[in-house]
Amino acid sequence: MTPDGTTPGDSEAQQRRWRALVDERLPAAAAARPDWPVSRNHCFARILLDNACGGPWRESVAPPAWANMPPERLAVALALGEAVLEGRQDLAVLNHRSLLWRRKRPVPPPPPRLVGDGFSLRRWRLTDDAPFAALCADPEVMRFFPAPKTPRESQAEARALARRFEEDGFGPWVVEAPEGFAGFVGCWRLARPLPFGPLIGRETGLVEIGWRLARFAWGRGFAVRGARLALADVFSRCALPEVVAHTAGLNAPSRRVIERLGMTEAGAFDHPALPEGHPLRPHRLYRLAAAEFATGDVS
């Protein structure tokens, strides 16, 4: 038995499946897929291995990858390859991500909107100030925050959230419901370090996902479905390897959204901005790797 729980026989069988996938099955399928960006075995291997590693695979694995890749990561690469063959994964998206990681392609600018079923995600407008201020002044919406916000505080926050798109190339999108402005959902770089080091080994360079919706928009799936659209965008267009989320332990609705996104709990921490004994101080941290999102249900 190896330390990861597999037997040498398992590893050899997995390596044989890998060789058959990239040397035979994918190149054979490529003959009937002129839309695929690549057709050669080493290109398929690069794309699948990079996506399983969340970056250029040679940065974390010594060649040859088929022999040295940890079995659980080779299993992700295999699952991605099978999904490509079955039409559940877009090879062009996986290739784009691999080339971005290898700096062979620039990050494209954010699209003007991401379209969902019955709602869309769009960039911020100055006319969002008033409904955003109303949302942030609602004690029910803000019950898991230290306090509701004044109109001035909300306006400053809206400007800062909107600026994220210029600063990072992605940001928290406005949720546009049939009734109009409904709040925001999306990703941004952590503005200041939080004590994540003991939980995930790093505190800087992280991207988080979050949401805040007006009460009329609750229970309609805008948070979960909007978050999936935003995640698909940052994982494909921006090639982010991982996104984290954190929320007060008491915030059950937010934890529910996080769970529905398939994020993995990474542990608990005390939020440093809240005093000892404050009920919202205990927080939980979650993480989601691009490869996990890619192999999960993307419908």
Among 75, 129, 218, 281, binds ligand COA (CB under 6 A): 218
Among 46, 225, 228, 284, binds ligand COA (CB under 6 A): 225
Phi, psi at 247, each rounded to 5°? -155, 160
Assess contact for 67 and 73: CB atoms under 8 A: no
* Exposed / middle / buried, residue 106 (Cβ in 10 Å: 0-12, 13-18, 19+): exposed
Among 69, 213, 239, 289, binds ligand COA (CB under 6 A): 213
Among 188, 196, 211, 269, binds ligand COA (CB under 6 A): 211
Contact segment (CB under 6 A) with ligand COA among 62-70, 211-219, 234-242, 267-275 equals: 211-219
Q: Residue 252 interacts with ligand COA (CB under 6 A)?
A: no
Assess contact for 214 and 134: CB atoms under 8 A: yes
* Exposed / middle / buried, residue 60 (Cβ in 10 Å: 0-12, 13-18, 19+): middle
Please report, as residue ranges, which positions from 15 to 74 form the binding site for ligand COA (by CB under 6 A).
none
Least separation in angstroms between CB 211 and ligand COA: 4
CA distance 43 to 37: 9
Assess contact for 229 and 235: CB atoms under 8 A: no
Please report, as residue ranges, which positions from 129 to 148 form the binding site for ligand COA (by CB under 6 A).
141, 144
Q: Residue 241 interacts with ligand COA (CB under 6 A)?
A: no
Q: Residue 221 interacts with ligand COA (CB under 6 A)?
A: yes
Among 155, 236, 247, 295, binds ligand COA (CB under 6 A): 247
What size, in residues, is the chain? 299
Contact segment (CB under 6 A) with ligand COA among 69-77, 151-159, 236-244, 252-260 equals: 252-260
Residues 6+ apart with CB under 8 A from 129: 151, 154, 155, 158
Which residue ranges make up the site for ligand COA (CB under 6 A)?
A: 141, 144, 210-213, 218-225, 247, 251, 253-254, 256-257
